[in-house]
A and B are shown apart, each in its own frame.
Chain A
């Protein structure tokens, strides 16, 4: 059933204009998809973590605990919202909002399948990077505003970590963009119809995944909310729905990182006989499984090792890779 067969569709087009309708529908789909996807990811993480650790994970709520995250969300909604007395009230209230906005906006440019992309922008990759660097701002806001010593240390660490790992992320993506000389996500996907870019750029892929893991503050780099050192980092003072928003944003960022990885290196929706969307979702969820798997096996890096690893190792290698790609493109 194509959208154009709706009864009085032409009057709407005439009145609102074709792409506005598409944009509104797209945004509605995203607003439904983001919470559901995060809820599903939280459930997947708890089940995978459970099975890695010889235990079944949530089982009581719904078959195999499917509704566990939904129940958690409802409970968090009904919790008392505490604002510490000496907290910076406005920033404390603003931080969870600022963290969720970029997470949702980045979905606009992700090409789920040839026809399913909310808005075809020629600045696709740039938009994702610029918005995803906003999350650091909200972490700093949350950490500073909650007037808690652990939160402040967590926030300061978050700023240094994200700044350090933004650069290798950009450099490794630049080497892909040089090859396709366009920021359009769909063009990057189109360019990979025959051979995926991971074959050409294995080094860039590794650097990309390490820095996205660090960017979303997960696993070996989760110094921001280090459970054993900083109690729970920047969201120590947050209760109820605000904490749920931080949780939601973390898993949405994880989904965006995995989908960017899929688009840049594993050829987006390209695949032998399944339709485009199925391939895209398979690739994304495989990458998310790898991120979860890494989290439950590796210990945590110390803060100065984290910094040295980024500045002294990742950035030089990323630059070298970029130069080699440029030279090879010139020569071939």
Chain B
């Protein structure tokens, strides 16, 4: 079954920032980590990957009136060069393997924004007898930011991206310390 072999990859956020082998070995240096996060934050490159109605609002956010380029956000077309995966739309069962491959193809420190009710919880299509969609992106991806709305306004998406920026710069340091402690305790 298409869905069976894709085991859930839901990794708690704290542990994931350890998993990013890409970031330099001098992880312990808080100042340098802060500096790198500041750089990562100001040039978040999302992947052009719209599924349904929310993709139109994502495009609208990139256009002249709301202009994501102000925040240094350019839409890259390959997963290899993107940091953020904005899941904009409903995830159907047929699409789950593709999303997982795209997620694994993305390098280094990467984040997920679940944009729209469909990506958060299945939205208007989640009901008792639903056979076609996965109820929410967090069932198959470690989601960082949830942007509610059906579709959320471009301002909503921009606020989501800014929230992600806050989360990256503030969250990492103590998350790393807690994660290292947890990892050490888990090993004992």
| A residues whose Cβ falls under 8 Å from a Cβ of B | 46, 50, 53-61, 65, 68, 71-72, 74-75, 78-82, 227, 231-232, 235-240, 243
Contacts and interface: CB of A to CB of B under 8 A. Distances in A.
B43 A231 contact: no
25 contacts: A55-B69, A58-B69, A58-B72, A59-B70, A60-B71, A68-B43, A71-B38, A71-B43, A72-B43, A72-B72, A75-B36, A78-B24, A79-B109, A80-B21, A80-B23, A80-B107, A81-B22, A81-B107, A82-B80, A231-B78, A239-B80, A239-B81, A239-B108, A240-B108, A243-B81
Contact of A78 (B63, B67, B72, B108): B108
Interface in B97-132: 105, 107-109
A238 B80 contact: yes
Contact of A65 (B36, B63, B72): B72
B30 interface: no
Given A232-B76, A238-B80, A50 B69 contact: yes
B42 A60 contact: yes
Given A57-B70, A71-B72, A79 B107 contact: yes
Contacts of A227: 77
Q: Top 10 A-B pairs ranked by shortest CB distance?
A: A80-B22, A80-B108, A74-B39, A80-B107, A55-B67, A239-B107, A54-B64, A79-B108, A72-B43, A59-B70
B118 to A, nearest CB: 25
Instruction: For chain B, give the interface size range.
Output: 20 to 34
Contacts of B23: 78, 80
Contacts of A57: 67, 69-70
A58 B67 CA distance: 9
A240 B63 CA distance: 26
Nearest to A53: B64
B87 to A, nearest CB: 19
Contacts of A80: 20-23, 107-109
A65 B70 CA distance: 8
Contacts of B67: 50, 55-57
Contact of B107 (A53, A61, A82): A82
B40 interface: yes
B173 to A, nearest CB: 15
A72 B108 CA distance: 15
Contacts of A74: 35-36, 39
Interface string B4-48: 000000000000000011111000000000011011101100000
A81 B22 CA distance: 7
A78 B39 contact: yes
Given A71-B43, A74-B39, A79 B22 contact: yes
